[in-house]
Amino acid sequence: MAGLDTSTIVLFDVDGTLTAPRLKIEPKMEEFLQLLKTKVTVGLVGGSDLAKIKQQMGEDVLERFTYVFSENGLVSHVNGDLVEKMSISKHLGEETIQKFINFALKKMSEITLPCKRGTFIEFRNGLINVCPVGRSCSQAERDQFGEYDAQHHVREKLVQDFKQEFPDAGLSFVIGGQISMDVFPSGWDKTYSLKSVQKAGYQKIYFFGDKTAPGGNDHEIFADPRTIGHTVTSPDDTMQQLKDIFFTQG
């Protein structure tokens, strides 16, 4: 078997790409990623904060993967070390942040859903996460909202409301995961992670994600000319595409 190709890195979204939404990585995927690491460098670019990525990928995720970019790449760990952490509060200022949060809570209060739970706004280092159903919902309630949203486009409509209300605030609004949206300064999307990767001199940068359509939080990095983007529908699909690219006899 050929050795490690040091000129190639494969970056992955987490939710819906390496794991089912908000669930732990399955042993077969973990085993496969360890095999992939014998061929290329592997990195993660998740929308969640590091604590949630650890819940899904394991507490030792920083030791197992060379690059771990959390919060859409705004918090960067390389070889286990924190190398950068952007601050949305410093960038936007308290007035703009409160104006947005107040508007978002008002719009969500006008929506009736199959259920609502708690934590509708989650403030992170590099973004604000907006969740109409509430992040404290159970897995069954999460799935229920996912089905309801696919039918009624709840998040899509909220994004349009945000864009209309804040056209000149320099903010991006994207749908991520199964139940929420991310709000961040324009340019603070997953492509932000590419500057660390490029600095390391990789010539080929693959990216795999499930929310690659316009409006999804994988779209910008998927469509970026610096990456070779791949759309996946599930962890099993991710694995199959990787097998076709890196493990076929040729």
| pLDDT tens-place string over residues 118-172 | 999 999 999 999 999 999 999 999 999 999 999 999 999 999 999 999 999 999 9
Residue 250 has pLDDT above 60, yes or no: no
For the chain, percent of residues with pLDDT exceeding 70 = 98
pLDDT on residue 177: 84
Given the residues 5, 15, 49, 244, select the one marked as catalytic: 15
CA distance 46 to 40: 19
Residue 1 has pLDDT above 70, yes or no: no
Task: Give the pLDDT confidence of 75-115 residue by residue, as tens digits.
Answer: 999 999 999 999 999 999 999 999 999 999 999 999 999 99
Bigger pLDDT: 22 vs 199: 199
Task: Give the pLDDT confidence of 217-248 residue by residue, as tens digits.
Answer: 999 999 999 999 999 999 999 999 999 999 98
What tokens were used for 99? 């104006």
Given the residues 5, 13, 81, 143, select the one marked as catalytic: 13
Question: What confidence tier does 21 reach under pLDDT thresholds 50, 70, 90?
Answer: confident
pLDDT on residue 173: 95
Average pLDDT over residues 38-57: 96
Does domain 88-185 sit in CATH 3.30.1240.20? yes
pLDDT on residue 22: 83
Question: Could you tell me the residue ranges of all domains in the chain?
Answer: 8-86+189-246, 88-185
Which phi and psi angles does 133 have, rounded to 5°? -85, -20
Closest CA to 149 of 181, 117, 109: 181
Q: Is 15 a catalytic residue?
A: yes
Same CATH fold assignment for domains 8-86+189-246 and 88-185: no
Task: Give the pLDDT confidence of 155-168 residue by residue, as tens digits.
Answer: 999 999 999 999 99
pLDDT on residue 249: 59
Closest CA to 245 of 204, 194, 202, 217: 204
pLDDT on residue 227: 98
CB neighbourhood size of 184 (10 A) = 26
Q: Is 13 a catalytic residue?
A: yes
E-assigned strand segments in the chain: 8-12, 41-45, 67-70, 75-78, 81-85, 121-123, 128-130, 171-176, 180-185, 204-209, 228-231
pLDDT on residue 143: 95
Residues written for the chain: 250
CATH number of 8-86+189-246: 3.40.50.1000
Average pLDDT over residues 50-55: 96
